[in-house]
Structure 1
Amino acid sequence: MDDSTLADRLTQLGLSEKEVDTYLSILRNGEAKASEIADNTGVSKRYVYSISESLEDRGFVEVNDHIVPTTIRARPPSEVIESLTSQLSEMESALDSRYSDTERRAQQFDVIKSRVTVVKRLTEYISNATDEVMLSVPQQYLPEIADELEAAVDRGVLALLVVSNAADIESEDVAGMASVARSWQQEMPIVLTVDGQFGLVAPADMIIRSNSDQRAIAFVQEQLVPVLSGSFLGNYWPMATELYVAEPRELPATYRRFRQPVLQATLRLRADDPVHVTASVHPVQADTDVETLEGTVVDTRQGLVEPQTNAYPIEHTLVVDTGEETVTVGGPGSFIEDYEAEEIILSES
C-alpha cells in the first residue's frame, strides 16, 4: 500500500490531513523531537504538540514529555490495530441496535424507484408469507413470481390472485399458483398484501415499461394493510372473472387468519363434505374471556369464490350449528357476527 492509499485509509478513521502527515512522519522516524517533526511537515512546533496529544489520545503515539526535549514515539502498528479493533468491537452492539432500528423504520414506508426493486420486494414479501397473499399482477409478469406463489400455496398460504392484461390466459396457466385466481383483460395497478402486515402498490407501467418514471410504494403497517386488503376485495376482485379454484386442502388444519378457513369450509360444503369446527372465540365487541365453540359448519358468507354469498366485500363468516343453536363466527375485528374467532380448527365431521 503506497503512502497516498495509506493516508486515505487513515483519513477514513477520522484523522485530519495534518494529523495524517504528522503521524506518517513519526512512523518514518520511529521517535523524533517536536522540532524535527515540525520541519518535516511544515507546521509549527506548537501545532505538532497539539496534534501529538490528539494522536496519543487515540492510541497512535506516545508523547514523552518527562524528558527534555520532549519526543514523540510511534506505538507499534500491531498495538495500534489491536486498540482500534477493541474500540470497534465495543461499538458493535450499539451499532447493530441502531442499524436494526433504522432498518425497521425505513421499511414502514418506502418509495421505490426501479422495476428491479419492485420485483425484489414482491418476491421477498411472497416468500415470507405465512397465512395470506392477495396479489394483482400483469399476465406478462406472472412467470417471474410463479415459483414464489407456488411455494406459498404449498405452505398452506391462502393466495388470491388477479391476473390483469389477460387476453388469452387459461386455468392451467395459474394452476398451483393460487388458492383462487381471477383474470381481467384491463390494465390495473400491481397490488400486494401479505399477512395483513406487508403491502405494496405500483402502477402497472412501472413493471410493463422499462423506461417508466412512475414510483411504487411498499409499507409495513398493520393499520394500513387491512385497508388495502379491503380495497382489493371490494374494487378489484369483483371486477375479475373466476379462472381457477384449487382443490380443498387436507384436514384437520389450524388457522389464525379467517379467510382461509371460510374458503375451505365453502369448498367442502359444496362437495357435500361436512366440516367440524373448534374455535377460540369471544362475543363480538365484548370484553370477555376467550371460550371454546364447537359445532358443524352449515353455511358460509363469502366473496372468495363464485357464487358470492356475502352482503359486502369484507364479510367472511362461518355459520355454525353447535347442537343447541346456530351462531355466526367472524374473524378479528368482526362487528356483525355473534362471535369473533382468534383461532379456528377445521376437521372432518
Structure 2
Amino acid sequence: MDDSTLSRLLREFGLSDKEIDIYLTVLDHGEAKASVVADDAGVSKRYVYSVSEELEERGFVSVNDHAVPTTIRAVPPQEVVDSLTEDVERMGPALEARYSKATPETNQFEVIKSRVTVLKRVTALVREATEEVSLSIPYDHLSEVESELRDAVERGVLVLLVVTGTDPADDLALDGVATVARAWREQTPTMITADRTRSLVAPPQMIARSNSGERAIAFTQRQLAPVLIGSFFGNYWPMAEEVYVADAHDLPETYADFRQAVLQATLHLRAGAEPTATVRGRALNADDGPGEISGRVVAVRQGLVEPANNSFPVEAALVVETGAGRYSVGGDGAFVEDYEAETVVLDLPE
C-alpha cells in the first residue's frame, strides 16, 4: 500500500494531515525523541508534544515523558488495528439500532402510462397500508382490489371507499370491503392515499380505456399527500352517497390513526355509549400543556359518516371532558383544536 492510500485510510479514522505525518514519522522510527520527529515531520517540537498526546489518547502511540528527553513510541500496529476494529464493531449495533427507528422517506414522483400498472399500484398501496386508506375507484374495477381491501379492514386499517360510475341504489355488496363506503353515479379520477404519505391519481379516461393516452401520477411525499386527501374529502366524499358503514370496534382499543379514533367514537356515541379517551400528544395553545389528557368523549366533529357536522371537509375532532376542563382534540397537523393527538385509547366505562 502506498503512502497516499495509507494516509487516506488514516484520514477516514479522523486523523488530520499533520497528525498523519507525525504518526507515520513515529512509525518509521519505532521510537524517537520529540525533536527528531519534529525535524522529520517539518513541525515545531511543541506541536509534536500536543499531537502526540492526542495520538496517545487514541491508542496510536505512547509518550514516555518520564525520560529526559521525552520519547514517543509507536504502539505495535496490530494492537492499533485490533483497537480500531473493536471500536467499529462496538459502533455497529448502535448505528443499526438508530437506523431501524425510522424509515427514510423518499420524495418520489412517477408518471404511469399503463392502466394495468395503475391498478397494480393501487392494489399494492392497499396491501401495504398499516393505518388508513382513502380510495376512489370505478365500481367496474373494484373486484381487482377487493381482496386487498377486505384484508386491510380485517387488520384494522381505516378504509374510506368511494365507488364511482354506479347507482347508489343498486345492491353493491360492499360489506367488509371498507370501513365506510360511498357510491356516486359520476365517473371521477381514480385516487388513493395510503397512510397519509403515498398517493396516486389517474384521470377517468385512463381507467375507462386502455389506449386513452392519459397519464397517472404516483408520489411519495408526506407534504403533498394532504392535498390529495383534501381533494378526496372536499370534492368527492360529500357528493357520494353513503351505502355502507362497518360495525363499531370492540373497546378498549389504541389508535395511531386519528380519523379511525374519531369514527369509532362517533359510532359508539350514536349507539348510546359514553366512550372515554386517553390522548397522548401536545397542547397547541400552551408551551407547558399536558402531554396526556384523559376524560369522557362528549362530542365529535366529523364528516366520515352521515350526518356530518364538520365545519370544513377534512375536519375530524374529539371533544374530551377532563377534570381540568374541556379540550377539542385534532390529529396530526391540527391547527384549530386545543390539542394535537399522537395516539388515542378509546374505552367504555364499566
Residue number in structure 1 paired with 2:241:
241
**Equivalent residue runs for 1:251-266 within 5 Å:** 251-266=251-266
Does the CA-based 8 Å contact 1:160-1:180 persist in structure 2? yes
Residue number in structure 2 paired with 1:111:
111
Matched, 1:158 2:189: no
Moved >3 Å (runs of 4+): 104-107, 168-172, 285-290
Residue number in structure 1 paired with 2:22:
none
Using the TM superposition, give the Cα deviation of residue 342 of structure 1 relative to its aligned residue in structure 2, in angstroms: 1.1
Output the CA distance in 1 between the equivalents of 2:326 and 2:276.
14
Q: TM-score, normalised by structure 1?
A: 0.67
Residue number in structure 1 paired with 2:327:
327
Residue number in structure 2 paired with 1:302:
302
Provide the secondary structure at the position in 1 that maps to 2:294: strand
Q: Relative to 1, partners in 2 of residues 1:294 and 1:117: Cα closer, same or farther, differing over 3 Å?
A: same
Residue number in structure 2 paired with 1:275:
275
Provide the secondary structure at the position in 1 that maps to 2:296: strand
Q: Relative to 1, partners in 2 of residues 1:265 and 1:193: Cα closer, same or farther, differing over 3 Å?
A: same
Using the TM superposition, give the Cα deviation of residue 234 of structure 1 relative to its aligned residue in structure 2, in angstroms: 0.8
Provide the secondary structure at the position in 2 that maps to 1:239: coil
Q: Relative to 1, partners in 2 of residues 1:275 and 1:186: Cα closer, same or farther, differing over 3 Å?
A: same
Percent identity over the alignment?
Answer: 52
Q: Relative to 1, partners in 2 of residues 1:301 and 1:173: Cα closer, same or farther, differing over 3 Å?
A: same
**Equivalent residue runs for 1:12-23 within 5 Å:** none
**Equivalent residue runs for 1:125-164 within 5 Å:** 125-164=125-164
Using the TM superposition, give the Cα deviation of residue 165 of structure 1 relative to its aligned residue in structure 2, in angstroms: 0.1
Residue number in structure 2 paired with 1:228:
228
Output the CA distance in 1 between the equivalents of 2:287 and 2:231.
29
**Equivalent residue runs for 1:3-82 within 5 Å:** none
Amino acid at match of 2:342: E
Unmatched runs of 5 consecutive residues or more in structure 1: 1-103
Residue number in structure 2 paired with 1:81:
none
Q: Relative to 1, partners in 2 of residues 1:172 and 1:248: Cα closer, same or farther, differing over 3 Å?
A: farther
Amino acid at match of 2:215: R
Output the CA distance in 2 between the equivalents of 1:227 and 1:256.
21
Provide the secondary structure at the position in 1 that maps to 2:238: helix
Amino acid at match of 2:188: M
Does the CA-based 8 Å contact 2:125-2:194 persist in structure 1? yes
Using the TM superposition, give the Cα deviation of residue 343 of structure 1 relative to its aligned residue in structure 2, in angstroms: 1.0
Output the CA distance in 2 between the equivalents of 1:209 and 1:315.
36
Q: Relative to 1, partners in 2 of residues 1:146 and 1:341: Cα closer, same or farther, differing over 3 Å?
A: same
Does the CA-based 8 Å contact 1:316-1:330 persist in structure 2? yes
Provide the secondary structure at the position in 2 that maps to 1:267: helix
Deviation track 1:272-325 (CA, whole Å, cap 9, x = no partner) reads: 011111111211155557611000101100000001111111111101111342
Q: Relative to 1, partners in 2 of residues 1:220 and 1:113: Cα closer, same or farther, differing over 3 Å?
A: same
Does the CA-based 8 Å contact 1:281-1:339 persist in structure 2? yes
Matched, 1:312 2:312: yes
Using the TM superposition, give the Cα deviation of residue 196 of structure 1 relative to its aligned residue in structure 2, in angstroms: 0.6
Q: Cα RMSD (Å) of the superposition? A: 1.8
Provide the secondary structure at the position in 2 that maps to 1:343: strand
Q: Relative to 1, partners in 2 of residues 1:108 and 1:245: Cα closer, same or farther, differing over 3 Å?
A: same
Output the CA distance in 2 between the equivalents of 1:331 and 1:296.
18
Unmatched runs of 5 consecutive residues or more in structure 2: 1-103
Does the CA-based 8 Å contact 2:300-2:317 persist in structure 1? yes
Amino acid at match of 2:139: Q
**Equivalent residue runs for 1:191-206 within 5 Å:** 191-206=191-206
Does the CA-based 8 Å contact 1:318-1:329 persist in structure 2? yes
Output the CA distance in 1 between the equivalents of 2:216 and 2:290.
41
Does the CA-based 8 Å contact 2:283-2:289 persist in structure 1? no
Using the TM superposition, give the Cα deviation of residue 333 of structure 1 relative to its aligned residue in structure 2, in angstroms: 1.2
Output the CA distance in 1 between the equivalents of 2:125 and 2:250.
25
How many pairs align? 246
Using the TM superposition, give the Cα deviation of residue 208 of structure 1 relative to its aligned residue in structure 2, in angstroms: 1.7
Residue number in structure 2 paired with 1:217:
217
Output the CA distance in 1 between the equivalents of 2:128 and 2:169.
27
Does the CA-based 8 Å contact 2:168-2:184 persist in structure 1? no
Amino acid at match of 2:226: P
Output the CA distance in 2 between the equivalents of 1:296 and 1:289.
19
